[in-house]
Structure formats: structure tokens, C-alpha cells
């Protein structure tokens, strides 16, 4: 069972840090094609020092959202989260 909050924050930190580093590498001329694609999604993301920080913030936010959705769906499909229908099925008892 994933702890949804922990997984979401972890993925947000990893993805945000990755976007920050790629943005700063872009200032040195590396990965500019990737930055061009991602800047169409992340407003303000550019191959500059400040653009890398903006991309890191965007990456953190997007990583947290996708991490929470992924962890929730994983727990739901693996049966760790009980839905209303599974609760009523398990609490019913047979009358003899």
C-alpha cells in the first residue's frame, strides 16, 4: 500500500529537481530541444537560471499531482482501498 502523500511529495521532488537541472543545463547549451517542448507546457520555463527555477516549481507541482493520482489508483486497483460496494459486501452476513 502506497502512502499517497509521501509518494506524491517524493515524485514531486524528483521531477521538480530534474526540471531544474535540465533548465540549468540548457543555459550551457545542452537539452534545448527538450526545454523547447516542455516550455510549451510549463509557462516561464526557459534555458536560463531563473527559467530553471520556474521549471523546477512547475515540475514539483505536476509531480505531486501525478504522484497522488498514481498512488491512489494503485491502491484502489490492488484492493487496498475499500470502496462503498466492497464495504457492503464484506459486512453482510448470511441468515441461517
Residues with Cβ within 8 Å of residue 63, at least 6 apart in sequence: 8, 11, 12, 13, 14, 15, 16
pLDDT band at 87 (very low <50, low <70, confident <90, very high): low
The reported pLDDT for the residue numbered 95 is 61
**What CA–CA distance (Å, rounded) separates 73 from 60?**
20
Cβ proximity of 39 and 50 under 8 Å: no
Per residue in 18-73, pLDDT (tens digit) is: 999 999 999 999 999 999 999 999 999 999 999 999 999 999 999 999 999 999 99
Q: Where are the domains of the chain?
A: 4-91
pLDDT band at 80 (very low <50, low <70, confident <90, very high): confident
pTM here is 0.82
Amino acid at each position: 500500500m502506497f502512502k499517497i502523500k509521501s509518494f506524491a511529495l517524493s515524485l514531486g521532488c524528483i521531477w521538480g529537481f530534474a526540471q531544474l537541472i535540465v533548465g540549468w543545463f540548457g543555459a550551457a547549451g545542452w537539452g534545448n530541444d527538450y526545454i523547447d517542448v516542455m516550455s510549451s507546457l510549463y509557462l516561464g520555463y526557459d534555458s536560463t537560471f531563473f527559467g530553471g527555477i520556474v521549471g523546477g516549481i512547475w515540475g514539483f507541482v505536476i509531480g505531486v499531482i501525478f504522484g497522488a493520482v498514481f498512488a491512489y489508483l494503485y491502491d484502489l486497483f490492488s484492493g487496498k482501498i475499500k470502496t462503498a460496494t466492497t464495504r457492503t459486501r464484506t459486512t453482510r452476513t448470511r441468515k441461517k
